Amino acid sequence: MRTAYSVGTVRGAERELMGRLPEGALMQRAAAGLAAAAADLLGRVYGARVTLLVGSGDNGGDALYAGARLARRGAGVTAVLLAPDRTHPAGLAALRAAGGRAIPATGRAIPATGRAIPATGRAIPGTPGGASSETSGGAISGSGRAVPGTPGGAVPGSTGGVVPETPGGASRPAGARTGPREGASGSSGGGSPSGGQLRTAPGPTGVEDAARDAERALARADLVVDGIVGIGGRGGLRPEAEWLACVARDGRAVVLAVDLPSGVDADTGEVQGPAIRADATVTFGAYKPGLLVDPAAEHTGALRLVDIGLDPYLPGTPDVEALQHADVAERLPVPSAESDKYRRGVVGVVAGSARYPGAAVLAVAGALHGGAGAVRYVGPAADAVIARFPETLVHAGPPAKAGRVQAWVIGPGLGDSADARRSLEDVLASDVPVLVDADGLRLLDRARVRARRAPTVLTPHAGEAAALLGVERGEVESARLAAVRRLAAEYGATALLKGSTTLVAPAPGQAGPVRVNPTGTGWLATAGSGDVLSGLGGALLAAGLEARDAASVAAYVHGLAGRFAAGRDGGPVGASDVAAALAPAWRDITSATG
């Protein structure tokens, strides 16, 4: 299980650990892990050019100490100081002693050239429509640049772009953190750094000279290290920091973020302004929720965790968690020698209409490939279902008279007719778990769901979630963690919020944190894919999995099936392809752990 903890929890664990370590040890651990990751990205350290973007907080200190380690190995290291008078003094001294140099950042705002960080509303030179340049095959997630010397652009040692832990790697609790805690993202200032000899000529000439020096250092760099702000930062980058980030993105260097990309929210995953878009991120001690959740996750690139010894000081229950293969394998139902179809689970599917018969076929496909002992279909698309899956048990309705089931799925392609409304009421009146999707969500009554005694699972995409919560879609997409938690709380149900990052929040009173689904691919954004997921989730409910497990396991297997269907190089898939890939994905999970 991959676990993530809030900023407050991580800070508390760091304080406990620092009380048991020599002064400065925690920051040295962080710097060692950061320098090792930087060396992996560079491939060859000697002769490489590294530029550090250094803010006033602890992340700036981490970057400076890591830069000193790289300088001692022969790299040319330049630190661009955003707050020279508040730079970590010991880190700056260490960098200079190792042969690195430091220059002040300019106080000038972003030039009016249309240049901006990718994913902001401004155009980027050389890209049509102002979009950020992206490449496939070798580019880190969200970036247009491959990480040198690594297959697929991932940080060495990573799986699927994420390095869970670095066994035996440097541990982090950077020790005597003397710099002030970060406030707003990015910092500005002038004058001489503590313990340094920097001087900036007065007047416009000095400002322009500093700007040229900083831009030249970024343009020539092989690696840019983002140490502007850390996990305590809030809001987007300030203008000076935004300008430097623009220059870094326009250059050829790989961008490595320290703990998290500056400008993203570590707790929520929100991006409320300009932010660094990194090719890779090294985070210390524990994952932070925002690194795993979009939109912030899109800025993170390949994610690497450096163990700094925090585990004994972290609570047993994280704020967010993500299942891995072994966790899913433990939860997948396995029939015994004495199993029959009822012991394996019978799932009822109420889906499809004269207009959308295919939705019924796809939901049944997901259920049949999801381990159900039998599938009972209720609705007007029986002929289409039987033609494709003759093993399905069909009934004209109503659902209450269809026969024994251990769970219901209702909604895909259902429409909003009087019959559809009656079917929904019938299913919600049952005493078995119910999964509601698509049209079923649009017909849903909040009080009716809250009154149910059996578990209910809601599976909206962002638009459907916005309608359920009475907000704009953009509000859901920009604050996904808050939205899924609110859905679960307001409807008294387990909520699965579909999207680029699929999240599962338990119903009120149910134990466990929100789960983030780590599988999936953009190719799953195709008509009918959600219908397959609904059938799969319903089958797992019928097999006896509790609601949060059923939803999160279904999302994991479905996402993996999407990857399998798209192939190693990626390519268009249909929902039927995803359904057909469920069984191979299931076998991959169980074989990898058995």
Distances in Å between the Cα of 352 and the Cα atoms of 110, 349, 385, 458 are 53, 9, 10, 18
- Strand, coil or helix: 515: strand
The answer to whether 259 is a known ligand-binding residue is yes
Q: Is 501 annotated as a binding residue?
A: yes
Amino acid letter for position 500? S
Whole-number Å distance between alpha carbons of 64 and 68: 6
Instruction: Say if residue 552 carries a ligand binding annotation.
Output: no
> Is 395 annotated as contributing to ligand binding?
no
Is 359 known as a binding-site position?
yes
**Is 307 labeled as ligand-binding?**
no
Residue 439 assigned to a binding site: no
> Is residue 228 part of an annotated ligand binding site?
no
Please answer whether residues 487 and 469 qualify as being in contact, where contact means their C-beta atoms are separated by less than 8 angstroms. Answer: yes
- Is 226 known as a binding-site position? yes
- The answer to the question of whether 530 is labelled as a binding residue is yes
Distance CA 227, CA 494 (A): 38
**Is 107 marked as binding a ligand?**
no
The answer to whether the annotation marks 62 as part of a ligand binding site is yes
Is the N-terminal amide bond of 295 cis, ω within 30° of 0? yes
Q: Is 499 annotated as a binding residue?
A: yes
Q: Using CA atoms, how far apart are residues 439 and 410, in angstroms rounded to an integer?
A: 8
The first and second tokens of residue 361, run together, are: 């076929």
Distance CA(164)–CA(323), nearest Å, equals 12
Contact 540, 446 (CB under 8 A): no
Half-sphere exposure of 46 (CA within 13 A, CB side): 0
Written as six digits, the tokens of 90 are 């010991």
Q: Are 350 and 401 in contact (CB under 8 A)?
A: no
DSSP string, 302-330: EEEEEP-S-GGGS-SS-SEEE--HHHHHH
Residues contacting residue 405 through CB under 8 Å, at least 6 positions apart: 346, 347, 348, 376, 432, 542
Q: Tell me if 107 sits within 8 A of 84, measured CB to CB.
A: no
Q: Is 348 annotated as a binding residue?
A: no
306/59 Cα distance (integer angstroms): 14
Q: Which of 294, 286, 223 is nearest to 259 (CA)?
A: 286
114 labeled part of a ligand binding site: no
Residues 6+ apart with CB under 8 A from 537: 366, 370, 409, 435, 457, 459, 496, 550, 551, 554
Q: Is 531 annotated as a binding residue?
A: yes
Q: Is 233 annotated as a binding residue?
A: yes
Report how far residue 504's alpha carbon sits from residue 502's, in angstroms, rounded to the nearest whole number. 7
- Among candidate residues 537, 589, 579, 574, the one with its CA nearest the CA of residue 410: 537
- Check the annotation: does 273 bind a ligand: no
* 236 belongs to an annotated ligand binding site: yes
User: What's the rounded Cα separation, in Å, for the pair 328 and 557?
Assistant: 8
Can you list the positions of beta strands (E) in 62-118?
A: 76-81, 101-104
498 is in an annotated binding site: yes
Annotated binding site for K(+), which residues? 59, 226, 262
Annotated binding site for (6S)-NADPHX, which residues? 58-62, 230-236, 259, 359, 413, 461, 531
Annotated binding site for AMP, which residues? 498-502, 530
Annotated binding site, which residues? 58-62, 226, 230-236, 259, 262, 359, 413, 461, 498-502, 530-531
